[in-house]
Amino acid sequence: MTAPNPLRSLVDVFSEVVDPRVARTRAHPIENVLTLALLGVISGAEGWEDLQEFAKRKAPDLSQFLALSHGTPSADTFRRVFEALPPPAFHEALMRWMRPMLGNLAGQTIALDGKALRGAMAHTRQGGAFHLLHVWATEQRVLLAQAAVGGAGEEVPAALELLRSVDLTGATVTADANFCTAGITQVIRDRGGHYLLALKGNRSTLHRHVADCFATERDGDFATTKPDVQKGRAHGRSELRIVRAMSAALLPPELRERWTDLESIVQVERLRLADELSFQRSYYITSHAPQAKKLAPRVRDHWKIENELHHCLDVTFGDDRRAIRSEYGTENFALLARFALSLLKRNSGPSSTNKDKRSVRMKRKIAMWSDSYYLEVLNSGFPAI
Enumerate the domain spans of the chain.
6-101+321-378, 177-301
pLDDT at 104: 85
pLDDT at 72: 95
Rounded to a whole number of angstroms, the CA Rg of the chain reads: 23
**In sequence order, which residues have a C-beta less than 8 Å from that of residue 309 and are 6 or more positions away?**
115, 134, 136, 141, 143, 338, 341
63 bridge partner residues: none
Instruction: Give the pLDDT confidence of 164-219 residue by residue, as tens digits.
Output: 999 999 999 999 999 999 999 999 999 999 999 999 987 889 999 999 999 999 99
Sign of the dihedral defined by the CA atoms of residues 357, 369, 322, 141, in that order: negative
Share of the chain above pLDDT 90, in %: 65
Averaged pLDDT for residues 140-145: 90
132 bridge partner residues: 115, 148
278 bridge partner residues: 272
Averaged pLDDT for residues 341-353: 69
Least confident of 35-49, 211-225, 308-322: 308-322
Averaged pLDDT for residues 310-322: 86
* 116 compared with 67, residue with greater pLDDT: 67
* 357 compared with 348, residue with greater pLDDT: 357
* 88 compared with 275, residue with greater pLDDT: 88
Chain-centroid distance, C-alpha 58? 29
**In sequence order, which residues have a C-beta less than 8 Å from that of residue 126 and are 6 or more positions away?**
150, 151
Task: Assess whether pLDDT exceeds 80 at residue 289.
Answer: yes
Cα distance between residue 102 and residue 3, in whole Å: 14
Task: Assess whether pLDDT exceeds 80 at residue 128.
Answer: no
Sheet holding 142-149, edge to edge: 142-149, 130-137, 109-117, 172-175, 194-199, 277-286, 264-273, 237-247, 228-234
Which residues of the chain form beta strands (DSSP E)? 109-117, 130-137, 142-149, 172-175, 194-199, 228-234, 237-247, 264-273, 277-286
Task: Assess whether pLDDT exceeds 70 at residue 111.
Answer: yes
pLDDT at 241: 94
pLDDT confidence of 127, banded at 50, 70, 90? low
pLDDT at 123: 44
Averaged pLDDT for residues 80-108: 92
**In sequence order, which residues have a C-beta less than 8 Å from that of residue 314 and are 6 or more positions away?**
320
pLDDT confidence of 233, banded at 50, 70, 90? confident
Task: Assess whether pLDDT exceeds 90 at residue 275.
Answer: no
pLDDT at 119: 63
* 346 compared with 210, residue with greater pLDDT: 210
pLDDT at 3: 41
Q: Please provide the distance, in angstroms rounded to a whole number, between the alpha carbons at the two ends of the chain.
A: 6
